[in-house]
Amino acid sequence: MTSRKTVPSAIALAAAFSACSIGLLSGCTPSGPPAGMGGPQGPLPVQVSTATRENVPLVGQWVATTDGYVNAQIQPQVSGYLIRQDYKEGSEVHKGQVLFEIDPRPLQAVLDQAKGQLNQAKAQLAQAQAQVELASINVERDKPLAEAHAIAQSILDNDLKTQQANQAAVLSQQASISAAEANVAAAELNVGFTKVRSLIDGIAGQATLQVGNLVNTGSVLTSVSQLNPIKVYFYISEQEYLALSAQAKSRGKADLLGSGNVIPLKLTLANGEVFPQTGHIIFVDRSVSAQTGSIRVAAQFANPGNLLRPGQFGRVTAETSVLQNAVLVPQRAVSEMQGMNQVIVVGNDNVAHIRTVKLGTQVGPNIIIASGLSAGEQVVTEGNDKVKEGMKLAPQPDKTLNAPAAGQNAQGN
């Protein structure tokens, strides 16, 4: 009995479903094109921008490290015990300023001894000179007597021999004095070297040895670095080297090393800020590394206030070339589909055309179109995810975009 009641219910349900389907087919199906393609809602509103043609400076960007313009290791020139440190670690010092003092007493004793030897040599010279004078008097006295045969010739001969011997003694003592004077000068230098001085202006580092340590000529007491100006080292590829050299020659310079300020360099610090001073190239290494294919370059930056210190990292940027007549569009106008870059071009009839393009370098908020698009064509910048090929559009200028950035730096490696 249960099956009898169920069958009529199933038949009624099937009849109701069939009637609904017929109603949908006859009265519910929309007619005409879909919305946005000439239907009741009209063309799809989108924002567009016009591709422009610009001369775009391209720049390279390289990781850089800072170093002192001059780095001097402070080492003593004599041995002895450190008795005083005369500078504050990390402070600015000047050329000739005393940084450390070594116990001068042993070297002062050597100096005193050398002075005593010099005085002794001078006394012996005076004695020898007096003997020469006495011998000369004897010769002058005995010479006429010997000629008159008043005295024997042998007496005059002895006088002459004595005179020559005394003259030789004078020369010997003069040589001794010269040697003694040299010893005194060397001893005075050594006493002076007990005051260890800075050879340059700069920032002095931490002392590596403390008061009371025994030091010698191989000991490194500290380092002093000249920081204004400061050097910045970075590596560029062989291709970038050739491009920068061509830039220098096009601006009237013989080569990259002599480019001076015609290729200005910018330094971006680790916190993202751009260092306010502009640098220039002062060193190009003699060869390209066979392992990396790069060449080392050094730049000089003014560093007032010694803000930059050796060992800091940053990024150096420089203009490498100028791309003539580059086609630029906003970067957000480009989309990627199955590994291909595409833009949506709005034709004169306001119909959408999907175009595959080849991209160049990014230039600020814009990007270079290497091929596939011409200057003056309009591309969709907002709403392009809703646009299909052949769709009718209602384009409006994209007022949120800045003007295409002619002259902005393109980001290199």
In this predicted model, which residue has the larger pLDDT, 362 or 94?
Answer: 94
The pLDDT value recorded for residue 18 is 44
d(CA 187, CA 193): 10
DSSP 57: E
End-to-end CA distance of the chain: 85
What is the mean pLDDT of the segment spanning 315-319? 93
Question: Which residue blocks in 198-327 are alpha helix, DSSP H?
Answer: 238-250
Q: Which of 281, 317, 284 is nearest to 299 (CA)?
A: 281
For the chain, give the mean pLDDT: 85
2 has a pLDDT exceeding 90: no
The pLDDT value recorded for residue 129 is 82
The helix/strand/coil state of 339 is coil
Non-local (6+) Cβ contacts of 135 within 8 A are 159, 162, 163, 165, 166
127 has a pLDDT exceeding 90: no
Render pLDDT for 224-244 as a digit per residue (tens, 0 to 9). 999 999 999 999 999 999 989
pLDDT > 70 fraction of the chain, expressed in percent and rounded:
87
Count CB atoms within 10 A of the CB of residue 319: 20
d(CA 182, CA 272): 60
Contact criterion met (CB below 8 Å) for 381 and 332 = yes
Q: Which of 229, 325, 235, 311 is nearest to 270 (CA)?
A: 311
Q: Which of 262, 129, 105, 272 is nearest to 190 (CA)?
A: 105
**Hunting for tokens 């008159």 — which residue is that?**
148
In this predicted model, which residue has the larger pLDDT, 384 or 72?
Answer: 72
- Choose the most confident range, by mean pLDDT, from 27-31, 173-177, 279-283: 279-283
Confidence of residue 400 (pLDDT cuts 50, 70, 90): confident
What is the mean pLDDT of the segment spanning 10-34? 41
Q: Which of 216, 184, 214, 178 is nearest to 108 (CA)?
A: 184
The CATH superfamily of 72-204 is: Helix Hairpins (1.10.287.620)
For domain 44-57+323-397, the question of CATH label 2.40.420.20 is answered with: yes
Count CB atoms within 10 A of the CB of residue 134: 14
pTM for the model stands at: 0.66
What is the mean pLDDT of the segment spanning 132-146? 79
Least confident span in 98-107, 109-118, 172-181, 192-201: 172-181
Q: For 205-339, where are the E strands, in sequence order?
A: 214-215, 222-237, 265-269, 280-284, 294-301, 313-330, 335-337
d(CA 400, CA 47): 10
For residue 74, count CB atoms less than 10 angstroms from its CB and return exposed for 0-12, middle for 13-18, buried for 19 or more.
Answer: buried
Structure tokens at 296: 């080392």
What is the mean pLDDT of the segment spanning 156-165? 81
367 has a pLDDT exceeding 90: yes
The pLDDT value recorded for residue 158 is 83
Candidates 2.60.40.10, 2.40.30.170, 1.10.600.10, 1.10.3720.10; correct CATH number of 61-69+225-320?
2.40.30.170
Structure tokens at 374: 């011409």
Render pLDDT for 262-293 as a digit per residue (tens, 0 to 9). 899 999 999 999 999 999 999 999 999 999 99
For residue 88, count CB atoms less than 10 angstroms from its CB and return exposed for 0-12, middle for 13-18, buried for 19 or more.
Answer: exposed
Q: Let me know the angle formed at the C-alpha of 159 by 157 and 161, rounded to the nearest 5 degrees.
A: 70
Give the type of residue at 388: K
The pLDDT value recorded for residue 402 is 52
d(CA 234, CA 59): 15
What is the mean pLDDT of the segment spanning 190-219? 96
Count, in order, helices (H) and strands (E) of the chain: 4, 19
In this predicted model, which residue has the larger pLDDT, 82 or 149?
Answer: 82
The residue extents of the domains of the chain are: 44-57+323-397, 61-69+225-320, 72-204
Structure tokens at 219: 């000991």
The CB-side HSE value for 21 (13 A sphere, CA atoms) comes to 6
The pLDDT value recorded for residue 225 is 96
Helix H or strand E encompassing 65: strand 52-74
The pLDDT value recorded for residue 253 is 87
Contact criterion met (CB below 8 Å) for 114 and 183 = yes
Structure tokens at 66: 């800072």
The pLDDT value recorded for residue 321 is 81
The pLDDT value recorded for residue 27 is 41
Render pLDDT for 50-104 as a digit per residue (tens, 0 to 9). 999 999 888 889 999 999 999 999 999 999 999 999 999 999 999 999 999 999 9
155 has a pLDDT exceeding 70: yes
Render pLDDT for 326-335 as a digit per residue (tens, 0 to 9). 999 999 999 9
Confidence of residue 29 (pLDDT cuts 50, 70, 90): very low
Write phi, then psi, for 224 (nearest 5 degrees).
-125, 130
406 has a pLDDT exceeding 80: no
